[in-house]
Structure 1
Amino acid sequence: MTASSSKRIFVAAMATETNTFSPIVIDRRAFEESFYAAPGMHPSTATLCTAPIPVGRKVCAEQGWTLIEGSSAWADPAGLVSGPAHQGLRDEILEQLKAAMPVDAVVLGLHGAMVAQGCIDPEGDLLARVRDIVGPDILVCAELDPHSHLTAKRVAASDFFVVFKEFPHTDFVERAQDLWALVVDTLEGKITPVMSTYDCRMIDVFPTSREPMRSFVDRMIALENTDPKVLSVSAVHGFMAGDVPEMGTKMVVVTDGDAAHGAALAEKLGQELFANRGKHMMPSMDERMAVITAMKPHDGPVVLADMWDNPGGGTAGDATVILHELIAQGATDVAIGTIWDPIAVKLCMAAGEGAVIPLRFGSKSAPMTGDPVDALVKIITVSEDAAMVFGESVVPFGPAVRIALLDGDGVDIGIEVILNTVRAQSYDPSLFTALGIDPLAQKILVIKSTNHFYAAFAPIASEVLYCSAGKPYPNDPATNPYRFVRDDIWPRVENPFAKED
């Protein structure tokens, strides 16, 4: 640490979420299509895992400190990151750090579930290399997404992590602010952060929009505010589509110099999560029952979530199982956002707005996503650069087109579909308005997301239905064909703590 009161802090971001079962490889272009900013070029608004950069600007300006910005990159979740993309981004950031030396701290925006070709733990690899550059006494910390893998390598290389508490992730800016508050207090000598972790030995899904996780998150926040020894409490949910050895749920407690207190609290909270295993997941139904329920009279639109064809979980977002069921049951006043099909988008854009063409779309990416749809369609709207919002972030999903399905006589059957080119889950109703669809005028809104949609869609929904349709995503950890996930973890075994009882 430098002797003067003026500090030099390096900040950068490298993030994506890897579904190791997904066939879609993430290359450099995928990062650039989703989000990439060269040093100093990050916008003033935060973008999920890059939030430490704009938040850090404000903090360092207030402190009179120097912030050295490295690159920031985010790719929408998919399969493995290509070796050249991973190594290129990693080395780019490391070279920027070397050029910035000496520094008093390194603050990173990471996701935590990245897996690359030839590297099963890219975040651990990056953090270890950062530690090698700065040495043992310089502060190294990061903000993480809860759907991550808390590996021993990452913990060993870092002073502390702060993790989003909410799922849907509505709090990524707040958690970046928490992270920076700890950085400031550490560098000013007010605290000595010590990180304790606990392995819950379970695989589950933890939506915080419902019980029992809602109360658990509220209690984590209360502990931070009432326990003078506790600086931060985080639950790392894990990511069940990441087939890696250290996958699973973990607790993280950061205390002010009291590792024993942190370890005891992490274990206590971790055992509470384990006691509620299997009770956290949203209740779901199959596509037939979901459509039947959605077609019943409602006062306002029904939001039907295709929860496992979620591009935010690394799938393609091109499944058609629910669409085929809607057609079979004669549903009307339906808008679907979105089905990913770049080829179909190009065909529609070539034909132009107002054209009527035969079109085959959807279900190109993987088995168990349904059959392609063959239909006569009318092209209603064409957008060269469609985008929606997610909190303060702007999420691109275009070029995109809005099509209406017609019957054999050219009559509109009452179902419209947004086809997109850039994969993105359905975060917000602005997804529909971007293509000229009024979401409040629909009887049924079909979206592709597991739970991130909830905060923005629930206020306009008469009912929210979670539909488990097909199996584009490995959604049963008891039977998923893992190769690397350990066997002593629930639900692969009933009680992984039995040997200790």
Structure 2
Amino acid sequence: MTATDTKRIFVAAMATETNTFSPIVIDRLAFEASFYAAPGAHPATATLCTAPIPVGRKVCADKGWTLIEGSASWADPAGLVSGAAHVGLRDEILTQLKAAMPVDAVVLGLHGAMVAQGCIDPEGDLLARVRDIVGPDVLVCAELDPHSHLTAKRVAAADFFVAFKEFPHTDFVDRAVDLWALVVDTLEGRIKPVMSTYDCRMIDVFPTSREPMRSFVDRMFALEKTDAQVLSVSAIHGFMAGDVPEMGTKMIVITDDAAAHGEAIAERLGQELFANRGKHMMPSMDEHAAVRAAMDATDGPVVLSDMWDNPGGGTAGDATVVLKELIAQKATGVAVGTIWDPIAVQLCMAAGEGAVMPLRFGAKSAPLTGDPVDAMIKVVTLSETAEMVFGESVVPFGPAARIALLDTDGNEIGIDVILNTVRAQSYDPSLFTAMGIDPLAQKILVIKSTNHFYAAFAPIASEILYCSAGKPYPNDPATNPYRFVRPDIWPRVENPFMQDD
């Protein structure tokens, strides 16, 4: 290898998903509680949107290239990012990039649905500033979460994006591998990537664990393998809780210098998604029907997803509607994971394991999350560092307390609840085992997740029930009180494409 063969590549990550309706502000401490790694300190395993860093290490080591690592940050979804946190993390990366210059490429790990106080498009802002630093000829690209906003500013600043294809996001490492393959082929002159996009003009939810989205994703993979001009296909689902002007579903097709071909494919696939609008979402039931169905099941565990109180969508994860219904219907053999209540956790920590005490917990964050639960409880298990896994990632949710609800005579009623301090959705059964609960021994497992739980819980579940309880999350795009989302988008209008006629 000659000196001219050596490439210098800068890599960094800055990511969260912003529910603009959520009252929970994300500050610097929230990033550090979820994930923060200084340059060179990223662990060997990926944490969702930071996957380009560990994957890049392997690629550059194999190629003999120089990888300059910037900082990496991820905060569990919530409300607006504080202006100080956004600017601080952004400027860290930009300062690191300036120090790394000259570089042949910039590879970023982004989520794509961040909104900050004073900046409606932080990723577009970051990409535009990166482009200003490196100039027009340096490759700039990023991996995205599909629950993102594909703004014009981002498309103008980047050469290409690769998004996770799966929801649940089981493929974030695989897509980082795809991203880096495009980087290598571009820098070595084998391809000239051109990005084409298409606006589907719709707001929807697209679980890939069921039809019609399962077949659609399979066709995306097939196109990448069978069409020699197609390098990558991504569907940007959009994020309905992000009230921003360019929110909505988009298609991305990257071709090898074949823009017209890419535009035609993106439009065709986008129209396929639009034709199935309203058919992608998982069927759900209210809390009364869901609890009855779970109790009537002959085998366990039944996984009952409190789908809209999902910290992965920016809610607090402290809604009590389902728990109250379980108590009212006298359900037993129940484990609830989790209810976010740092104050209740502190009280349990002070009391210690084995303590019996009155406790008020839950439903503190926002309206339409139910009422706080007042109960006599027993503190069963405490953990300062509770965590679960999500694929290769480790997800902290502690300090945490497992409590057992008691009746007036002090007997356990058969419902255990995990209270957590660091908000996190229910990714994996290790959530329960971390607190001493055998998930296979339960009749009902209540989890807080829209669909990311599916890959890990489906193999152990006798049945999965999706429950729409209360309204902690803006889950109806036809009636959500948007201020900035454009009006000419389905389901705000029946057919936005007719507006062009």
Q: TM-score, normalized by length of structure 1?
A: 0.99
Aligned to 1:51: 51
Q: Distance in 2 between matches of 1:141 and 1:393?
A: 23
Where 2:228 maps in the other structure, the secondary structure is coil
Name the structure 1 match of 2:155. 155
The answer to whether the aligner puts 1:13 opposite 2:1 as a matched pair is no
Determine the structure 2 residue equivalent to 1:476. Answer: 476
Alignment of 1:61-460 (within 5 A): 61-460=61-460
- Give, in whole Å, the separation in 1 of the partners of 2:32 and 2:7: 31
Letter of the structure 1 residue corresponding to residue 208 of structure 2:
T
Residue 431 of structure 2 aligns to a residue whose secondary structure is helix
Shift, 1:159, TM fit:
0.1
Q: Counterparts of 2:401 and 2:36 in 1: how far apart (Å)?
A: 25
Instruction: Give the length in aligned residue pairs.
Output: 500
Amino acid at match of 1:387: E
Identity, % of aligned positions = 86
5+ unaligned residues in a row in structure 1: which ranges?
none
Deviations 1:149-183 (A, max 9, x none): 00000000000000000000000000000000000
SS of corresponding position for 1:4:
helix
What TM-score do the two structures reach when normalised by structure 2? 0.99
**Cα distance in 2 between the residues matched to 1:285 and 1:297:** 15
1:224-250 CA deviation, whole Å, 9 max, x = no partner?
000000000000000000000000000
Superposed displacement of residue 299, structure 1: 2.1
Q: Distance in 1 between matches of 2:432 and 2:483?
A: 39
Query: Is 2:41 the counterpart of 1:34?
Result: no
Secondary structure in 2 aligned to 1:295? helix
Letter in 2 for 1:31: F
| Partner Cα separation in structure 1 for residue 298 and residue 113 of structure 2 | 39
> Could you tell me how far apart the structure 2 residues matched to 1:328 and 1:299 are?
21
Which runs of structure 1 show a deviation greater than 3 angstroms over 4 or more consecutive aligned residues? none
In the alignment, the residues of structure 2 paired with residue 76 and residue 489 of structure 1 have an alpha-carbon distance, to the nearest angstrom, of 28
Residue deviations 1:409-458, cap 9 Å, x none? 10110000000000000000000000000000000000000000000000
Residue type of the partner of 2:415? I
Range moving further from structure 2, 438-447 or 297-306: 297-306
SS at match of 1:184: helix
Residue 300 (structure 1) shift: 2.2
Task: Tell me the C-alpha RMSD between the 2 structures.
Answer: 0.8
Q: Residue 379 of structure 2: SS of its match in structure 1?
A: strand
Q: Which amino acid aligns with 2:90?
A: R
Query: In the alignment, residue 124 of structure 1 is paired with which amino acid?
Result: G
User: For the residues of structure 1 that align with 2:342 and 2:454, how far apart are their CA atoms?
Assistant: 27
Question: Structure 2 regions of 5+ residues with no counterpart?
Answer: none
Paired residue type of 1:69 = E
What is the deviation of 1:408?
A: 1.1
Residues 388-419 of structure 1 deviation map (CA, whole Å, 9 limit, x = unaligned): 00000000000000000001110110000000
Between the aligned partners of 1:4 and 1:472, the Cα distance in structure 2 is 56
Q: Deviations over 1:21-69 (max 9, x none)?
A: 0000000000000000000000000100000000000000000000000
